[in-house]
Amino acid sequence: MLGTDHEIYEKFVAITAIVKIPGLRFSIMSGVLNFSWQGGPLTEMSMIVFRDLEPIEIVQRLEYELEKTYQIKPLTYRADLSGYRRNPFSSQN
């Protein structure tokens, strides 16, 4: 599905550009997307929710689960975006 669904592919690329969680991967089964990482399962969400959320919102959800389940600070694996001249998440770009 990832190879043929351009929207899912772009979102996953955007997510991995924002956050560098080791071994981050996902699988899709029966319309449910399961996220996991090298430490184990993270979260699951329906494909409807996944399509409705922006990549930064999905990253925030993953970071929340890392903190809740594995006691890892939310910004631990956030990518360094200091090379941008503007805030890449600002609506003013």
Q: What are the C-alpha distances in Å from 63 to residues 30, 67, 80?
A: 24, 6, 15
Amino acid at 56: I
Entry pTM: 0.83
Cα(73)–Cα(21) distance, integer angstroms: 12
The predicted-structure confidence for 37-70, as pLDDT tens digits, reads as follows: 999 999 999 999 999 999 999 999 999 999 999 9
**Segment 75-87 mean pLDDT:** 80
In this predicted model, what pLDDT tens digit does every residue of 2-50 receive, in sequence order?
557 888 889 999 999 999 999 999 999 999 999 999 999 999 999 999 9
Please provide the distance, in angstroms rounded to a whole number, between the alpha carbons at the two ends of the chain. Answer: 32
Predicted pLDDT of residue 36: 96
Residue in 86, 18, 81 with CA at minimum distance from that of residue 53: 18
